[in-house]
Amino acid sequence: MNFNKLLKTKTVIVAEIGNNHEGNLSVAKKLIDEAKKCGVDAVKFQTFLPEKFIYKKDKKRIKQIQKFQLSYEQFSYLSRYAKKKKLIFISTPFDIESANFLNKIQNIFKVSSGDNNFYPLLSTIAHFNKTIILSTGLMKLSEIKKTVSFINKIWKKIKKNKKKLILLHCVSSYPVESKDANIKSISYLKDKLKNNIIGYSDHTIGNSAAVGAVYLGAKVIEKHFTLNNNYSSFRDHKLSLNPKNMKKLVDEIRKAEELLGEYKKKPNKTEEKNINSMRRSISINKNRKKGEKINLQDLIWVRSTKGLRPGNEKKILKKAKKNYSSGDLLL
């Protein structure tokens, strides 16, 4: 599956598995299986070497995150497994070495909100000349523009144009309260950054924000995904969608796309058959003999498939050319 081609036809839905596998390859596979059943387009993981992105003296945190770590070999396997399931595989690198590894097994990169100003990592990824999804949490517009410009300058030097830069509105809080979701930022980013595709990385509980984002024009929706919201005490399980609710989200987004239709305004095929029966025609509400003047007050407008349509009154406000009975259509 090609991510950029999918963007032309529908909203791309990404199941953010992240670290909800908790370092267990079998669970990671099961998450891919369940995501496929839900109808998502892509699955996303996180790839890291703990000692390369956690301060080395923070031994407690390093020990904790090591429990969630999968090896490069395991990610290679998951990439192949996802592709067999006809899902797009994405993993977010949290260090430059992991980014270089992921470049061998994936065709699209995701940059987390925490790293959207980590320029050495951004430079590494941009030089791969692949589509980048960038979460914009923690950033104001001027900072987003700076990062976008940084990436575009690298791409301009490469002089290839197959890649895209996709910006996701994101609020970096876990979970995000409804009052803080501010999905109007999607409309704002679309207005301010017209050359980029805008999407939404949703950390709220439930589906309302993600579906609302689609109505506002989000072309990529990323939502955390778990097998069970009570799988463990790990925070992400609670704010993730379980398979039942992810399937519901996919269905709601596809319904939203159906309701949105196309960016144009004209009678559609279902309306065309109703045009004649629903439009009005000019009729006369008094008897008039040939040669008598027809006045505006003599007219009524009724639904009919025949007769002159409203807007043609001036053509008939004159002497009658024949006898009319009350209720006759004026032709």
Write the DSSP string, 140-193. -HHHHHHHHHHHHHHHHHHT-----EEEEEE--SSSBPHHHH-THHHHHHHHH-
- How far apart (Å, rounded) are the C-alpha atoms in residues 100 and 17? 21
User: In a 3-state reduction of DSSP, which class is residue 92?
Assistant: strand
135-148: per-residue pLDDT in tens? 999 999 999 999 99
pLDDT for the residue 1: 79
Structural contact between residues 198 and 240, judged by C-beta atoms closer than 8 angstroms: no
CA max distance for the chain:
104
The pLDDT of 46-50, averaged and rounded, is 96
- How far apart (Å, rounded) are the C-alpha atoms in residues 70 and 75? 7
Question: Closest by alpha carbon to 137, among 120, 118, 116?
Answer: 116
C-alpha angle with apex 175: 97 to 203, nearest 5 degrees?
A: 60
3-260: CATH topology is TIM Barrel (3.20.20)
Residue 52: pLDDT band (50, 70, 90) is very high
- For the chain, the average pLDDT equals 95
The pLDDT of 66-77, averaged and rounded, is 96
Domain ranges of the chain: 3-260, 270-315
DSSP H or E segment with residue 264: none
The pLDDT of 151-156, averaged and rounded, is 94
Backbone phi, psi, residue 154, to 5°:
-65, -45
Residue 269: pLDDT band (50, 70, 90) is confident
The pLDDT of 26-43, averaged and rounded, is 98
101 pLDDT above the threshold of 90: yes
331 pLDDT above the threshold of 90: no
Tell me the torsion sign for CA atoms 190, 199, 112, 149: negative
160 pLDDT above the threshold of 80: no
Q: 10 Å Cβ neighbour count for 296?
A: 9
pLDDT for the residue 159: 76
Q: 10 Å Cβ neighbour count for 33?
A: 15
Residue 161: pLDDT band (50, 70, 90) is low
